[in-house]
Amino acid sequence: MKLTEAIKELALTVVAAVDIECEISGGYVSDLLSNVMARAAAGQVWITLQGHQNIVAVAVLLELAAVIVAGGVQPDEETKQKAVSEGVTLLATPLPIFEVAGRLYQLGLRGGDNA
């Protein structure tokens, strides 16, 4: 699935965009940064409730396709700026994490080998 399809189908707000035409290889859901670093994989989208700068660092480290900040949490301005400067696509939604993951699953996205 292309990231643009996920953005359209879930009506995600683009906070910072790099390559929204990229393919998504899977998805991962967690708010524990060490868990994400150990289990998520390159090309996946990461769904979280966290909106601070550390999410950008994790996304860069893992080469994630995008980070979706769910539950109506708005990434702070520093996080937005860091996402732009580091080349991370950052998306936001008022939807709860459970619903975001469920909708992506219905669209055919799976957890991937590391999930």
Task: State the residue range of the domain holding 91.
Answer: 3-106
Q: In this predicted structure, what is the pLDDT of residue 96?
A: 98
Structural domain tally of the chain?
1
Q: In this predicted structure, what is the pLDDT of residue 44?
A: 97
Find the length of the chain.
115
Q: In this predicted structure, what is the pLDDT of residue 109?
A: 94
Residue 112, domain member (yes or no): no
Residue 38, domain member (yes or no): yes
pLDDT band for 95, please (50, 70, 90 cuts).
very high
Q: pLDDT tens digits for 39-90?
A: 999 999 999 999 999 999 999 999 999 999 999 999 999 999 999 999 999 9
Q: In this predicted structure, what is the pLDDT of residue 113?
A: 55
> Over pLDDT 90: what percentage of the chain?
94
Which domain CATH number covers 15?
3.40.1390.20
Residue 21, domain member (yes or no): yes
Mean pLDDT of 79-108: 97
Residue 111, domain member (yes or no): no
Residue 97, domain member (yes or no): yes
pTM: 0.95
Across the chain, mean pLDDT equals 95
Residue 115, domain member (yes or no): no
Mean pLDDT of 25-52: 97
Nearest in space to 46 (alpha carbons), one of 5, 6, 106, 86: 6
Tokens encoding 74: 């708005």
Burial 2-35 (b: 16+ CB within 10 A, else e): ebebbbeebebeebbbeebeeebbbbbbbeebee
Residue 62, domain member (yes or no): yes
Residue 96, domain member (yes or no): yes
